[in-house]
Amino acid sequence: SYVLTQPPSVSVTPGKTATIMCGGINIGDKSVHWYQQKPGQAPVLLIYFDSDRPSGIPERFSGSNSGNTATLTISRVEAGDDADYYCQVWDSGSDHLVFGGGTKLTVL
């Protein structure tokens, strides 16, 4: 089955830019979606179809996807961005939805 690989943790200081990567074989050929999850809460859709933002999601959150890596970029990081982030794709081969293992973003 298709595997998505994320770094377990990323740290960033407030005001800086955080980059979270999601690796998968030819992931650039798939549509990637990103979720933010804070402790005790349900996940929230941050980015869909690689780079689109649902209404209400700040422009500080952006996404890109090419080759074997998709990237979530958070600009001007705030303390409230401290959360877990998950990438997700639909794998046509298995007709299954796949999540990455998640990345814990720590705002120092």
* Interface residue list for other proteins (CB under 8 A): 1, 31, 33, 35, 37, 42-45, 48-49, 54, 84, 86, 88, 90, 92, 95-102
Give dist(CA 53, CA 46) in Å, integer: 6
Closest to other proteins by CB, 31 vs 68, is: 31
Q: How far is the CB of 82 from other proteins (least distance, A)?
A: 17
From the number of C-beta atoms within 10 Å of its C-beta (0-12, 13-18, 19+), residue 31 rates as middle
Name the residue among 96, 108, 99, 1 with its Cα closest to residue 43. 99
Give dist(CA 105, CA 108) in Å, integer: 9
Closest to other proteins by CB, 16 vs 96, is: 96
Q: How far is the CB of 72 from other proteins (least distance, A)?
A: 14
Closest to other proteins by CB, 9 vs 17, is: 9
